[in-house]
Amino acid sequence: MEAQDQALVALGENLQAAGYRFTTVTPKSHLRVNNGVGNERATSLEAVFGWNRPFQRGDIPQRITTLLEEASELEIFEDSVRSKVRFSTLADQLFVHSSFPTESADAVFFGPDTYRFARVLKHALQGLEVAAPFTIIDIGCGSGAGGLFAALQLSPHADVDVILSDINPKALRYARINAALNGIRNVRTVLSDLFDQINDPGNLIISNPPYLVDSSARLYRHGGGEFGFELSLRIVEASIDRLRSGGRLVLYTGTPVVGGVDKFYQALRPVLEARRCSYTYDEIDPDVFGEELESAPYDRADRIAVVVLTLEAGKEAVS
């Protein structure tokens, strides 16, 4: 691990030691809170690394500011400084991710979808047989939160190997730092489009991919295709042949509902039926990203829903 990455790990450890906790909200809520009276400047660690407000060097412990500088993650203005990264808590884990607002093409996002995904994983892992060798593959891992959270749930039962994959090098950097920060062993990060650079089969394949049409084509948000779920469909098609016998795929994604029709499931169902897959498909939030309904292509939709596909490996699974 390079010196800058080691500094970020040390920074996270300092935050943990200080009892730091922060739940990341939607960008709209974040902006509204930061625009509130008295919130122009940070006066606490949560304001610096959660709300991501500018601060004066004397406002927080000097050691933490020094670690930000050593990590090259300190933005310097004429009259203040600001962190280029944020830290969020999920259960007992801490994750570094991109600063607010997440406007750059390679931004690494962490937010409400991450928390919903973690709850889905906790439920989906029930009844899953865990015995060595056991491999978790997180496709489009972003900060690594999904794979590292799943590993924490399973590791008391057996040692697990974790493969965190993404097409965004910055995401893989943060994922490596988060693995070290949370003490998750046997983690490998892979720069890969789906399984292009992954040869291993998985006992548990998980994904929380981008599922919207984003005009800026930001990697964490743009899922491709007419309605944004093209990547989700590709993940399912590619994962079916990569599951070990008894393995499980958990896909958390979004779908537009147009005229009462779930467009993702409409495209997905023939794929699953052709392969005779055993699966469940559940809608877990009926209405997210309502602001997207104001413009194309979602101006044709009734709503955008969050759905979860849980698929069990069949007789064609990898042994």
- The proportion of the chain whose per-residue pLDDT surpasses 90, expressed as a percent, equals 82
Q: Which residue, among 242, 179, 177, has the nearest Cα to 207 in the 3D structure?
A: 242
Q: Which two tokens stand for residue 267?
A: 């495209």
My answer on whether 160 and 277 are in the same domain is: yes
- CATH number of domain containing 119: 3.40.50.150
My answer on whether 163 and 62 are in the same domain is: no
My answer on whether 81 and 44 are in the same domain is: yes
Q: Confirm whether 107 is domain-assigned.
A: no
Q: Is residue 304 predicted with pLDDT exceeding 70?
A: yes
Secondary structure element (H or E) that encloses residue 264, with its range: helix 263-274
Q: Which residue, among 199, 196, 147, has the nearest Cα to 174 in the 3D structure?
A: 147
My answer on whether 84 and 129 are in the same domain is: no
Over the chain, what HEC string results?
A: CCHHHHHHHHHHHHHHHCCCCCCCCCHHHHHHHHCCCCCCCCCCHHHHHCCCCCECHHHCCHHHHHHHHHCCCEEECCCCEEECEEEEEECCEEEEEECCCCCCCCCCCCCHHHHHHHHHHHHHCCCCCCCCCCEEEEECCCCCHHHHHHHHHHCCCCCCEEEEEECCHHHHHHHHHHHHHCCCCCEEEEECCCCCCCCCCEEEEEECCCCECCCCCCCCCECCCCCCCHHHHHHHHHHHHHEEEEEEEEEEEEEEEECCEEHHHHHHHHHHHHCCCEEEEEEEECCCCHHHHHCCCHHHCCEEEEEEEEEECCCCCEC
d(CA 100, CA 122): 28
- The proportion of the chain whose per-residue pLDDT surpasses 70, expressed as a percent, equals 97
My answer on whether 250 and 140 are in the same domain is: yes
Range of the structural domain that residue 259 is part of = 112-312
When pLDDT is averaged across residues 75-98 and rounded to a whole number, the result is 96
My answer on whether 116 and 195 are in the same domain is: yes
Average pLDDT, the chain: 93
Q: Confirm whether 78 is domain-assigned.
A: yes
d(CA 65, CA 58): 9
- Whole-prediction pTM: 0.93
Q: Confirm whether 148 is domain-assigned.
A: yes
Q: Which residue, among 239, 258, 308, has the nearest Cα to 280 in the 3D structure?
A: 308
When pLDDT is averaged across residues 291-319 and rounded to a whole number, the result is 85
Residue range 192-210, pLDDT digits in tens: 999 999 999 999 999 999 9
Instruction: Tell me how long the chain is.
Output: 319
When pLDDT is averaged across residues 229-234 and rounded to a whole number, the result is 95
- Looking at residue 275, what is its pLDDT? 87
My answer on whether 176 and 292 are in the same domain is: yes
- Looking at residue 53, what is its pLDDT? 94
My answer on whether 185 and 308 are in the same domain is: yes
End-to-end CA distance of the chain: 34
3-class DSSP state of 167: coil
Residue range 6-35, pLDDT digits in tens: 999 999 999 999 999 999 999 999 999 999
317 pLDDT band (50/70/90 cuts)? very low
319 pLDDT band (50/70/90 cuts)? very low
Number of structural domains the chain divides into: 2
Residue range 239-291, pLDDT digits in tens: 999 999 889 999 999 999 999 999 999 999 999 999 888 999 999 999 999 99
Q: Is residue 43 predicted with pLDDT exceeding 60?
A: yes
Q: Confirm whether 251 is domain-assigned.
A: yes
Q: Is residue 5 predicted with pLDDT exceeding 60?
A: yes
